[in-house]
Structure 1
Amino acid sequence: MQKVVGIFVFDDIEVLDFCGPFEVLSVTRVDESKRLETLSPFDVKLVSITKDIVLTTGGMKVVPDFDFETCPELDILIVPGGMGTRKLMYDERVLKFVNKKAKEVELLTSVCTGSLILASAKLLDGVNATTHWKSLQRMEDEFKNIKVCKDKHYVEDGNIISSAGISAGIDMALYIVKRYFGENVSRATAKHMEYPYLEKNIRRVDI
């Protein structure tokens, strides 16, 4: 059975923040030799506040699959970043949604400044986490209960994984593949994408 992945999209989202993880998870195959005959073990959907077209940083138009009201149960939630997070981290609709899904999912993740939304929802209290390098100091100053990691590409703490900025979301997504289906599948996915496989620069916290 496929793992259902919801990626939250919003106006002024950074394109690679959500497209990077989308690409990784959607092109994954458990058996690389049967790539053309099989589906990804991840069913990736885009979720937004409403079903209106989302306008990204740079002007790409994106059509969400679901709004908050129609979003199905998820196994994984990915909260990307971008300039749009500056307002959304104070939006009660967004905070209510991520809190609800956090109780439901197996894995809660963020890319770039998406972690500020999770922080504002108090989902990172007591958690080791990271964000885009330009926002590390802000995270440390505004959210005193977060253990901010300033030198890691992505950080795993229990069932929460946060990544640094933009392209770091690709490496985080490859780690998600590894977490569920092993290193061989993750490496095969990276090779299919012609993307270098990151082996270091992760902080893993065992709890």
Structure 2
Amino acid sequence: MNRTRNVAVLLYEHVDGLDFCGSFDVFATASNWGKDFNTYTVSEKPGLIHTISSFAVSPKYNFNDCPQPDVLVIPGGLGSRTEMNNEVLTSWINSTSKNTEMVLSICTGALLLAKANLLSGLKVTTNRRAMDVLAQVAPKDCEIIDDIRYIDNGKIVMSAGVTAGIDASLHVVSRILGEERAIETASRLEYTWNRQILR
């Protein structure tokens, strides 16, 4: 019998709204009314977070009171280029990831994983408009892959930009709960799952 897994979706100033909302809704929809996934948001500090689209979100938890996630989702957005230099945030990602089942980066969330020292030796990807930045901050032993929707490195799953994060989230659901649940979730979201994956 599957246990309920905690899915934490990280928020920070100027995060991309669709990056985190798309992934959040995949896990929430797949959760079988909360039985399989307990999905929640977390930010460094309490208070409103403003997305790059200018709407405000109130995260449920902050770094001091966040339950340990089984799946940690790191969305992208313009703010990632600033937050990748936030050592409090990248240290939290590093320490929290040690006890997770999986870490999923979406879009330029890859920059945060790079700065959190989680990408050594992996195949990595990000938004095609940020490949140059990823090349600057990723470890030299990474293999940067473009023109792919998402990459499964085992514990670390990485997606290209924006809606590719929905595809990667469905992939994570399929790994945990099976392909049938992922297909059902995509259907409920009226979304066509693109399975262009690299393993």
Extract unaligned runs of 5+ from structure 2: none
Which TM-score applies when normalising by structure 1?
0.91
Superposed displacement of residue 41, structure 1: 1.2
Would the aligned equivalents of 2:115 and 2:137 in 1 still touch at CA under 8 Å?
no
Superposed, 1:129-168 pairs within 5 Å as: 129-143=124-138, 144-168=140-164
Per-residue Cα deviation, 1:65-118 (whole angstroms, up to 9, x for no partner) = 111111111101011000111111011101110011110101011000001010
8 Å contact kept, 2:31–2:38: no
> Does structure 2 conserve the Cα–Cα contact (< 8 Å) formed by 1:28 and 1:40?
no
Name the CA distance, whole Å, in 1 between partners of 2:29 and 2:56. 22
Match of 1:183 among 174, 179, 186: 179
> Is 1:79 the equivalent of 2:81?
no
Give 1:197 deviation, angstroms. Answer: 2.1
CA distance in structure 1 between the aligned counterparts of 2:99 and 2:14, rounded to whole angstroms? 27
SS at match of 2:96: helix
* Separation (CA, whole Å) in 1 of partners of 2:132 and 2:46: 34
Which structure has the larger Rg?
Answer: 1
Spell out the pairing of 1:1-207 with structure 2 (5 A cutoff).
1-29=3-31, 38-143=33-138, 144-199=140-195, 201-204=196-199
Q: Could you list the runs of 5+ residues in structure 1 that have no partner in the other structure?
A: 31-37
Identify if the C-alpha distance between structure 1 residues 14 and 51 changes in structure 2 by more than 3 Å, giving closer, same or farther: same
Change (3 A) 1:142 1:95: closer
Asked if structure 1 preserves the Cα contact closer than 8 Å seen for 2:102 and 2:155, the reply is yes
Looking at structure 2, the residues matched to 74 and 185 of structure 1 have their Cα atoms a distance apart, in angstroms, of 21
CA distance in structure 2 between the partners assigned to 1:181 and 1:119 by the alignment: 28
- How far 1:159 moved relative to its partner? 0.6
Quote how far apart the aligned CAs of 1:40 are: 4.8
Q: Give, in whole Å, the separation in 1 of the partners of 2:35 and 2:126.
A: 28
Within 2, Cα distance between the matches of 1:181 and 1:78?
Answer: 17
Deviating 4+ runs (over 3 angstroms): none
Count matched residues. Answer: 196
User: Residue in 2 aligned with 1:35?
Assistant: none
Alpha-carbon separation, structure 1, partners of 2:166 and 2:184: 14
The letter for the 2-side match of 1:69 is: N
**How high is the sequence identity, in percent, across the aligned residues?**
33
Q: What is the CA–CA distance in structure 2 between the aligned matches of 1:148 and 1:131, rounded to whole Å?
A: 9
Q: Distance in 2 between matches of 1:184 and 1:28?
A: 11
Aligned-residue offset at 1:142 = 3.4
Give the counterpart letter for 2:28 in structure 1: S
CA deviation after TM superposition for structure 1 residue 155, in Å: 0.4
